[in-house]
Amino acid sequence: METLLMTGASRGLGRIAAEKILRERPDIHLVVTARAGTLADDLTRSTGNPNVTALTCDLASGRSVRAAAEVLAGRLDSGALPPLHGFIGNAGLQLTSRARATEAGIEPTFAVNVLANHLLVRLLWSRFTAPGRIVLVGSDTHFGDLRHNLGMVPAPRWEPVADLARPRPDARTATDGRRAYSTSKLTIVYLVHALARRLPDGIDVYTFNPGYVPGTGLVRDAGPAVRFLSRTLLRALTATPLALSAAAAGALLAEAAVGPRPGESGAYIDRHRVTASAPASYDHDREEELWRGLCALDPVEML
């Protein structure tokens, strides 16, 4: 048996991926993060597999992430859970502004999409057991062009890490919120590249891009009109090459996480194949700047 940690398993493609793993991999004990509720029981009920545990965690709170990692580390060290071989960072947030702040004063999109993934990997660093695999969910939007964002999300805009993490009281439009999202997804590719250079041998890390997946709840902070379009008209795009259904994207995420080794560590998995990410995502200086900035924002003393 082995343990796989997963965020964002409560809905959408994450829920599909979690259920697929539980149905097809009885050798995996799935640990899912949840702020509250009955997620573990729901997954057991829907799959018939009892090898699932919920870990209370608010990914927007560094304090909560640290507490959850400490609980998980204790269970791993005591033998209550089998060795940790993987992590799926699927949770994602897209807001209608960049003006909000977490309890620690971090802009929430950056806190959930970037900082929480960094923290969980760093805090559990010594518990990952080879062969292991870390998959962080990215997005087409990091390319910043019409072909990849369908005109719905503005291009990312790189800034110093401290500025990316800081709320902007004047950035109160949906465009500001969506740009924060695309920038966070470019940041994820940088983080994967930085991790690939640092993780121990046998622990691989990948960015997984599911493409456009309408109707998953990502736009739940948007207005009624946008939410309606996502549930109806935009969902029709899943019949074209422009989008995937949550079922299809979730199955591909599960494959990326527990299927055959996709490729060299640090690679970008676009749906079902390894390919190049955006040219701007291959910037060693930014990757190292990001790493230093994340470590400065929330220093980690290994558990």
Handedness of CA 179, 166, 285, 295 (dihedral sign): negative
Letter for the amino acid at 128?
Answer: F
What does the DSSP 8-state code read for residue 187? H
Q: Which domains does the chain have, with CATH numbers?
A: 2-297 (3.40.50.720)
**CA 157, CA 141: separation in Å to the nearest integer?**
11
Rg (CA), the chain: 18
Output the six-digit token pair for 290.
Answer: 């990001």
Give alpha helix (H) positions in 165-279: 174-196, 224-231, 246-258
Which tokens is 224 given?
Answer: 């009624």
Q: Which two tokens stand for residue 175?
A: 């465009």
Is the CB of residue 5 less than 8 Å from the CB of residue 116? no
> Quick one: pLDDT at residue 233?
47
This prediction's pTM: 0.93
Q: Are strands 273-275 and 268-270 parallel, antiparallel or unpaired?
A: antiparallel
> Per residue of the chain (303 residues), what is the pLDDT tens digit?
999 999 999 999 999 999 999 999 999 999 999 998 899 999 999 999 999 999 999 999 999 999 999 999 999 999 999 999 999 999 999 999 999 999 999 999 999 999 999 999 999 999 999 999 999 999 999 999 988 887 889 999 999 999 999 999 999 999 999 999 999 999 999 999 999 999 999 999 999 999 988 766 655 555 554 544 455 545 555 655 666 899 999 999 999 999 999 999 999 999 999 999 999 999 999 999 999 999 999 888 666
CA distance 267 to 273: 10
Neighbours of 22 (CB within 10 A): 24
